[in-house]
Amino acid sequence: MRAGDSAGAHRARRRQRLQALVLVAPFCLAYLVLFIYPTLKMLQLSFTSAPLIGDGAFVGLANYRRLLIDHLFQESVFHTGYFVLLTVLPTTLLGLAIALMVTRLRGWLQSLVLACFFLPYILPVTVVTLIWQWLLDLQFGIAQHAIRLFDGDGVAVFKNPAWAMPMVAFVTIWWTNGFNVLLFIAGLRNISPDYYDAASLDGAGRLQRFRHITWPLIWPVTALVLTIQLILQLKIFDQVYLLTQGGPFNSTYVLVQVIYRQAFVLNHGGYGATIAVVLFAIIAVLSVLQYQVLRVRDTP
């Protein structure tokens, strides 16, 4: 503190602190009660045998040991990974392909085409699943015309272990792909047309321009979309619950669904919290990774 500080400056600083307190108080209160406390409580519950509502005894690491012998939990980790595999890379590449198509267009046609690809993204998940249950209905669904090309009799896709998860992934991609398209379009707009003009003068073809200009310059956005999608799809629950309820034969049971089942169906709050901690740990590690990706982007 400088010796020349007057009492007036001191008062002004105090006033500013007080004003800051008033401004941040609502958010901090909500954050503390609805976020910090539930996170700590989740960790605490995972060491107890508590039911969903009410107290339980401290059981040490028993819940965590139970994870090692819980087949449904282990399968759900595997299924969640399978779902991530089926969605993340395809939706990223598809998003880029569609963005490349859309950026070529101009004016109202561009707006219209973009709206077609983006509209599903803003719909509630239940609307999306109702639409696809209808389209994929074994008897009357219009999409069965396409499925009969692979399997002459048609397939009850959400009751067939081989088809269920890929179809949930397909519906998810249809629903959420507009988000990726948007990010890629923003990225493509940031590439200076000068590069393309120069390449055209050198006689570079469409594919060469993509390989040597677009792909390397869009890579930061691609990395961003990949990490966002990875974290997002690991948290899958809604579509699976609504389309297959985890079936057939538990073949689509996913991690969040095991939390739901243990805590809300079987009334095992403590063990449900333990699985939530596992999900938390996975996402936390990947978020650090995402942060690194974003930081690389920000430094030119």
Partner 1 sequence: MRRLPDLLLTLLAVIAAALWAFPLYWAVVTTLKPEYEVVQPGIALLPKTWTIGAYVYVLGHTNIARWYLNSFATALAVTVLVVGMSACCGYAISQLRFPGRGVLYGLILASFMVPLQALIVTHFVLMNDFGLINSWGGVVLPQLIVPVVVIVYKQFFDQIPREFREAALVDGAGEFRLFAQVFLPMNWGVTTALAIITFIGAWNAFLWPFLVASTDQAMTVTVGIVQVHDSFGVQYARNLAGAVLAALPVAVAYLVFQRRVTEAVMLSAGIKG
* 24 belongs to the binding site for partner 1 (CB under 8 A): yes
Tokens of 195: 């590069």
CA separation for the pair 155, 132 (Å, rounded)? 14
Tell me which residue has tokens 């503190």: 1
**85 vs 186, which CB is nearer to partner 1?**
186
Q: Which residues contact 207 (CB under 8 A, 6 or more apart)?
A: none
**132 vs 163, which CB is nearer to partner 1?**
132
* 127 belongs to the binding site for partner 1 (CB under 8 A): yes
Binding track, positions 40-69, relative to partner 1; x by CB under 8 A: -xx--x------xx----------------
Q: φ and ψ at 189, to 5 degrees?
A: -65, -25
* 169 belongs to the binding site for partner 1 (CB under 8 A): no
**82 vs 174, which CB is nearer to partner 1?**
174
Binding track, positions 84-113, relative to partner 1; x by CB under 8 A: --------------x--xx-xx---x-xxx
* 198 belongs to the binding site for partner 1 (CB under 8 A): no
Closest separation in Å from C-beta 39 to partner 1? 6
Within 261-280, which residues bind partner 1 (CB under 8 A)? 263-264, 269, 272-273, 276-277, 279-280
* 157 belongs to the binding site for partner 1 (CB under 8 A): no
Instruction: Tell me the helices (H) and strands (E) count for the chain, helix number first.
Output: 14, 0
Using alpha carbons, list the distances in angstroms from residue 178 to 57, 98, 103, 228, 294: 47, 9, 14, 14, 21
Within 13 A of 33's CA, how many CA atoms are on the CB side? 5
- Rounded to 5°, angle at Cα 215 from 211 and 216: 105
Closest separation in Å from C-beta 42 to partner 1? 5
Among 59, 93, 125, 204, contact with partner 1 (rule: CB under 8 A): 125
